[in-house]
Amino acid sequence: MGAQWKAKHREAAANAKGRIFGKLAKEIMLAARSGADPDMNPRLRLVVEQAKKASMTRETLERAIKKGAGLLGEAVHFEKLTYEGFAPHKVPVIVECLTDNINRTVAEIRVLFRKGQLGASGSVSWDFDYLGMIEASPSSADADPELAAIEAGAQDFEPADNGATLFLSDATDMDAVCRALPAHGFTVLSAQLGYRPKNPMTLTDAEMEEVEAFLDAIDAHDDVQNVYVGLAG
């Protein structure tokens, strides 16, 4: 039984890693439409850094860049779709998708939202801030996150896991903040644009189980890139 459980655990971990790589490859291909050189393409540079952090192989990374830039003779047509609505217990949710088949994605996301409520555009996004979120770790003992935030042009900062700091920036300033932080004693670990809830909700354990089951089903869909939830913590 133990060996069987371990095998299932390894398979689940491999599947999860495969989904992460699939999502990153789509983001890379989409970003590479604006140019295959990360040094000249800030959006691509940030996604490439995320892919490296996730241990994507160099071969896979370079193929995704070339494919997105049209250097392999293959046309890549991904459309970005954003859905807003509610998980069980009226928890606000924003779902971002990248798809090569809009009709399929629309139909399947509608089915997944049956245990919640799919809303119109703007129905919940007003309750979120769209920000640059940069996680960075101190590269020296005297690195001051408050001073670094001010000098780098971040709007705010807060503690993150393992002694790191999460710097929050205006969406248009994220790349500039990423470039400035190393000069103020911080090494950038990851950076992404995303939504943060203005009024996060707190649920009971039983309610959280129901919401998590709903969110897991959404996140497992192949076309779903990001899921943002109005929950505390």
Task: Report how far residue 127's alpha carbon sits from residue 145's, in angstroms, rounded to the nearest whole number.
Answer: 27
Distance CA 145, CA 49 (A): 22
Contact criterion met (CB below 8 Å) for 168 and 145: no
Assess if residue 50 is contained within a domain.
Answer: yes
Q: Among all chains, which residue has been given the structure tokens 């996060």? A: 200
- 140 and 208 housed in the same domain: yes
For residue 17, the model assigns a pLDDT of 67
Sheet containing 224-229: which strands, arranged edge to edge? 117-119, 79-87, 91-99, 224-229
- Give SS3 for 52: helix
Q: Residue 177 carries which side chain, given as an amino acid letter?
A: V
pLDDT higher than 90, residue 18: no
Average pLDDT, the chain: 88
pLDDT for the residue 126:
96
In the chain, % of residues over pLDDT 90: 61
Is 92 a domain residue? yes
Give me the domain span that covers residue 40.
Answer: 2-68
How many other C-beta atoms lie within 10 A of the C-beta of residue 16? Answer: 12
For residues 108 and 150, state if they share a domain: yes
Asked whether the beta carbons of 178 and 134 are under 8 A apart, the reply is: yes
Rounded CA Rg of the chain: 19
Domain CATH for 61: 1.10.10.200
Q: Is the pLDDT of residue 2 over 50?
A: no
